[in-house]
Structure 1
């Protein structure tokens, strides 16, 4: 099972002239136009207390020069692991258009007002789900989970406040790698090293 990737244009260092964050946003738009469902999905890797890696897919909900933002329950496995080791790697993968981006760096919680602002934009069902789910904890059955959801709907018939144990994280990159699939596995890879102020300190082409 192998795809021989083709593209009319080779990934070039000049594509980063407007900034690494602008190229990520452009590629997300390209993935959406190419028919990728949820192109803002990314695989987030963290490390537990024993140094063992753990991955899961989350939705990116913000991209700026400061970093990449996602939201979760602060009691979840990912949040607890980030509390122990505040570094992560996140990969956007779009095989349908032959592209991939990996962002690595330090992770910190966003300010509460940022979380509250995003929370208000979420659909009511998603808000109820966040209250109903004790994320990453065992639950007896699907029926129990649905009962918890029904109870939360009764508790909050109107406006739903932000849960105190739920919020955002921002991954501030120390490096961003752009990958473009090419013929004969001679792929294009360009890695941007990011300085503390968010500006690129080095742009390097890597062998595939």
Structure 2
């Protein structure tokens, strides 16, 4: 990896279109909603379902999904603690760019480490970051696992699998907790949808209109 000291001469150009101008165009603020939880908890399902609901309402929104990122931007990384940290750092840097362009960004990643999630929050900026814990018991996650990844992890066929051979640190103070095993996808998605809408309102636009 390149040493940051070698990049000291780099100066990022300033856009002629400000974040405020973009937010005025879309009538909402850019914000990251970081969905964390075990594999099978329902992160991707909720993110993509909420994405469609928001898109149909005219929101500028995108989902960054763990599997999609792993097959592209982060296909050079493995699942060691160090690579997981780097995976989350790259996602956070991408999400930061999207937020500054007035995009609502739903990040659906296991992101098992409290430290990695805090680093993501620091990169993106506290005012643009909401942590959403998608809570589900490991037993229920394994029951939902039609691909058999949990079973393969327990037999040692898959290494460093979160919730089996690799630890998951649940958030200690998330902005929202959605418990997925007791409610329907529709109920859980509506809860996420309402939370997103409430935290992306551009109050300055409402006051001036």
TM score, norm. by length of structure 1: 0.27
Give the structure with the larger helix fraction.
Answer: 2
Larger RCO: 1 or 2 (CA < 8 Å, sep 6+): 2
TM score, norm. by length of structure 2: 0.27
Larger Rg: 1
Give the structure with the larger strand fraction.
Answer: 1
